[in-house]
Amino acid sequence: MNENTENADQSATTTARKARTPRQPRLDQPLASKASQLEDAAYGRLLERADVKEALFRVGSAQAKRDSVSRKLCAGSAAVSVDDLSRWEGELAAAKEGLVALAKHSPLLLKHPMLAAH
C-alpha cells in the first residue's frame, strides 16, 4: 500500500496541470473591418432618426423643385420666372444649412452624398 501511494504522489507531480494559453484574437476578420461595420451600422441608425429624415427630405425636395424650375426656364417656359428660381435656390440653401447643422452634432452624417460635396 505504501508503494501505491508513492506512485500516486509521483504521478501527480509529474503530470501537473499546464496553464492555459492566452486566447488569441480572431484573425479571420481584421479589426479595421469590424470598425467599419460598426461605423456603417451607426450611420444606418443615424439615417433612421426622424430629424435626419426630415432634413434629407427637405433638401431633396428643394433640390428637385429648383432643378424643375431651372429646366423650365432653360426651355423658355413662361410658367415660371427667375424670381421662382431665386426663391427655390434660397429654400435649397436654407435646407442645406439645416442639414449641415445636424452634421455638426453627428459627424457621421458627413458621409451622406448630399453633404459629401458640401
What's the pTM value of the predicted model, to 2 decimals? 0.66
Number of structural domains found in the chain: 1
| Residue 104: predicted pLDDT | 93
- Is residue 75 domain-resident? yes
Answer for the pair 70, 85: CB distance below 8 angstroms, yes or no.
yes
- pLDDT tens by residue, 34-91: 888 888 888 889 899 999 999 999 999 999 999 999 999 999 999 999 999 999 999 9
Q: With cut-offs at 50, 70 and 90, classify the pLDDT of residue 97.
A: very high
The range of the structural domain enclosing residue 87 comes to 48-118
Determine, yes or no, domain membership for 22.
Answer: no
Exposed (0-12), middle (13-18) or buried (19+): which is 89, by Cβ within 10 Å?
A: middle
More confident residue, 15 or 90: 90
How many residues does the structure list for the chain? 118
Structural domain includes residue 38: no
More confident residue, 118 or 35: 35
Whether 74 is in a domain gets the answer yes
